[in-house]
Structure 1
């Protein structure tokens, strides 16, 4: 009788341990965050492109939730990534652009812009640090662009990431933290192989894999066989660059290998996979019609990006969410999933866990602030406010269907209804003074709250037209 009781108790304990282990896996899912570089909102099949081929990403979207109104908190590389990892808007961390803030012809800049910071301060408690302190193995494989190394910002393993923002896509790469492969090796392929090696490493703790590819950032380089394929393929209006298309297909193929590895390791059901881009695409390379402009602009084409989240058992397959979200939301969302306390610093996003579960979140304003200058890529094709700059100093707010732009040089205000005018072609500010007043007040109050710099000092080199 005593022996039977011991066996019964032992089985109960073992059963509890097994259930508890499964609960731990559920409570601390693995996380893979894949960030493409300069990939536009409509540069993938699941967002409507008929020229670019992305079967693996389309399958991922079919298995998870697609966000049709996803934004980045900045319209170019470094500030977008700084916002993602800090959970904070640019006025808090001071990274607004890449390199200097006074870009473009000095004679056409009316104001002295804010001085730009190029490295994320160590005082910021990053998303990677939060996950590391929650017991995660943290790895960054690919572009960093926020300082000398991800290892100083919460990652325990890093490869191919430093201060640089762009790189050759063919070996020899010249990346100090990535040994060159054989001549002609393709960087997207190499980063994937390194990521697969990381996934193969067995461990008892969950992992956070940050996989920021250098693709599809310039220079446009891709395997010749793929380029030839798209040169033969019928073009789509505004989407017809064969090398860019080949880069996208290569990116998609490699992401497919990551997903296949998760299946092979039996980890797919225990892993959140997030795919997005750091900002909008370059409009002269690929148009995002009906969205206006592209990378570097705060019109929709510069800040709206593709976003998919797959999390089996929590996110219903094949779902679509139209609620506006931001890459600022990743940090608080992961903390919410892990039931971790918020850090001792402001977080400007919200948890979108309710959206992932098919619920709703309260309507909120989204803000952008850009007190600097970015010169034009292509004056005829950029779609900016004027042909000289993609962006002049200003701020933007979106609330509901309304979006207000404020420009500091001339105190200009532009109001658009994104429901009826997603291309931001019809400025309806004069016809909607009450909406302008409401949004402008929100914007001014937000700038005060975040101590956002507003340029007012005249540029002595400026020559009025």
Structure 2
């Protein structure tokens, strides 16, 4: 009888041990990032026409974040912030990175520097295999020995373009795979990118957990979409260009569905998927190639390149295959900056030895509860709107203009020796305060209505911005 009891205990403890080990096992991690997708562009986030059934299903079965933020209101700094968990200003990436044409403000030098520590590099130390498929846009000299490639930052396999798919999403010809030109590819970019990710996973022979970063070009210009999807939307839209945009988002959703189906079938036991956008929607006809930019900010103010909400308030969806998480819609404040510390906690990887601006949202994922400690601050000196600096804390957002002597600071693309003192000596003025819980559209400045809140926020804002300026990277051209 005693032996039988001991046997039962042994079996019970064995079962519990295995269960605990499974619970502690490292998850596969997938980040899906769109390009210029607006907060209001998905059906699940309120678009009245665009159909996105796969993302709708992800949001329904997982977590939908209604207060999700990108690290910047434009692509390159947003991507750098996601990869490093720090404000992109600290990495010296202030605006989108153009081609390497020499300029007075050293913009041609800008790139993600070798000293930066990234998600894939961190996860590799914890035993992960890593892959990037899609847009990179974190260097001015792409696929060159002059600047680090994606492989340097921890990606075992990378299949990427410098910036946009060219000449358009259809039959792109500018992809590079692990340093080698691929040539023209048939099909649409989102399916090509998803197929590469699936192929990498299929060819992966080891049992390592994986980190997969899928960066779609859609729906960034130049927009090109399948004819059948365009024809489907034509009866519901103003013109063919709008139908092209709507079809572009739906085509991206189809690629997400393709990838998710594969993950469910092959890696459905423990794979965390996070979906978002690098910034808000492009403004229609802002430049000559933006004739199909019919993206929607939803209820938010502004567009891409704005420090008002629509610039960096983006759709966010998290779905953890095979695991029980908080289910439903969350209004907790989350940021792409939070991904690195979250993935460190979930994987057991050691955090980089530097101050991070993001914070782990593991408790939010598991319980639906999380009190944010760190404020979110953005300093985008090339903003279309006049308030170049903004900060979000709890239900409040504060913004300001920057003034130099008697004039407001002009548009600045990059911080360098030539303009460092100008930017750092600019005074924070014309503060505005918004109640984001009751006024997501930023229609009313409530600084006078809530003087105590405003006073406290202003002091914190000035302190946080001073700290950000102190750590911002200044580019210097070496004399030869």
User: Do they fold alike, i.e. is TM over 0.5?
Assistant: yes
The CA distance in 2 between the partners of 1:263 and 1:369, in whole Å, is: 37
Q: Select 1:216's aligned residue among 199, 214, 219.
A: 219
The CA distance in 1 between the partners of 2:159 and 2:265, in whole Å, is: 24
Which position in structure 1 is the counterpart of 2:194? 192
Q: Select 2:388's aligned residue among 381, 394, 409.
A: 394
Which position in structure 2 is the counterpart of 1:174? 174
Deviations 1:158-201, CA, capped at 9 Å, x for gaps: 0124x33554212242334452345x521112111111111213
Deviations 1:131-159, CA, capped at 9 Å, x for gaps: 11110000001101112321011111101
* Structure 1 residue 20, shift from structure 2 partner: 5.1
SS at match of 1:160: strand
Deviates more, 1:343-352 or 1:365-374: 365-374
- Is this contact kept in 1: 2:43–2:56, CA < 8 A? yes
Which position in structure 2 is the counterpart of 1:407? 401
Distance 1:113 1:323, change over 3 A: farther
* Structure 1 residue 218, shift from structure 2 partner: 0.6
* Structure 1 residue 341, shift from structure 2 partner: 2.8
Matched, 1:354 2:363: yes
Which position in structure 2 is the counterpart of 1:450? 468
* Structure 1 residue 345, shift from structure 2 partner: 1.1
The CA distance in 2 between the partners of 1:426 and 1:287, in whole Å, is: 21
Q: How does 1:120-139 map to 2 (within 5 A)?
A: 120-139=112-131
* Structure 1 residue 121, shift from structure 2 partner: 1.2
Deviates more, 1:431-440 or 1:244-253: 431-440
The CA distance in 2 between the partners of 1:278 and 1:143, in whole Å, is: 11
Q: How does 1:328-407 map to 2 (within 5 A)?
A: 328-364=337-373, 366-374=375-383, 390-392=384-386, 394-407=388-401
The CA distance in 1 between the partners of 2:333 and 2:70, in whole Å, is: 11
Matched, 1:141 2:133: yes
Deviations 1:321-375, CA, capped at 9 Å, x for gaps: 111111100000111112333211111111101110124222435333325224x
- Is this contact kept in 2: 1:73–1:303, CA < 8 A? yes
Deviations 1:80-138, CA, capped at 9 Å, x for gaps: 110011110123111111147xxxxxxxxxxx999796311111111110011110000
Which position in structure 1 is the counterpart of 2:419? none
Q: How does 1:17-96 map to 2 (within 5 A)?
A: 23=21, 26-96=24-94
Distance 1:126 1:156, change over 3 A: same
- Is this contact kept in 1: 2:74–2:279, CA < 8 A? yes
Distance 1:116 1:27, change over 3 A: farther
* Structure 1 residue 452, shift from structure 2 partner: 4.4
The CA distance in 2 between the partners of 1:67 and 1:97, in whole Å, is: 26
Which position in structure 1 is the counterpart of 2:163? 164
Deviations 1:39-80, CA, capped at 9 Å, x for gaps: 111111111112111001111111211111101121110001
- Is this contact kept in 1: 2:171–2:188, CA < 8 A? yes
Unaligned runs of 5+ in 1: 1-7, 101-111, 375-389, 455-465
* Structure 1 residue 217, shift from structure 2 partner: 0.7
Matched, 1:282 2:282: yes
Which position in structure 2 is the counterpart of 1:303? 312
- Is this contact kept in 2: 1:166–1:217, CA < 8 A? no
* Structure 1 residue 435, shift from structure 2 partner: 2.3
- Is this contact kept in 2: 1:332–1:342, CA < 8 A? yes
* Structure 1 residue 320, shift from structure 2 partner: 1.3
- Is this contact kept in 1: 2:307–2:388, CA < 8 A? no
- Is this contact kept in 2: 1:392–1:407, CA < 8 A? yes
Q: How does 1:238-317 map to 2 (within 5 A)?
A: 241-265=242-266, 267-284=267-284, 285-311=294-320, 312-317=322-327
The CA distance in 2 between the partners of 1:272 and 1:30, in whole Å, is: 6
SS at match of 2:231: helix
Deviations 1:362-395, CA, capped at 9 Å, x for gaps: 2435333325224xxxxxxxxxxxxxxx144621
The CA distance in 2 between the partners of 1:125 and 1:331, in whole Å, is: 10
Deviates more, 1:300-309 or 1:434-443: 434-443
SS at match of 1:306: strand
Aligned length: 415
- Is this contact kept in 1: 2:38–2:298, CA < 8 A? no
Deviates more, 1:131-140 or 1:221-230: 221-230
The CA distance in 2 between the partners of 1:185 and 1:214, in whole Å, is: 13
SS at match of 2:338: helix
The CA distance in 2 between the partners of 1:436 and 1:453, in whole Å, is: 26
- Is this contact kept in 1: 2:307–2:380, CA < 8 A? no
The CA distance in 2 between the partners of 1:75 and 1:406, in whole Å, is: 16
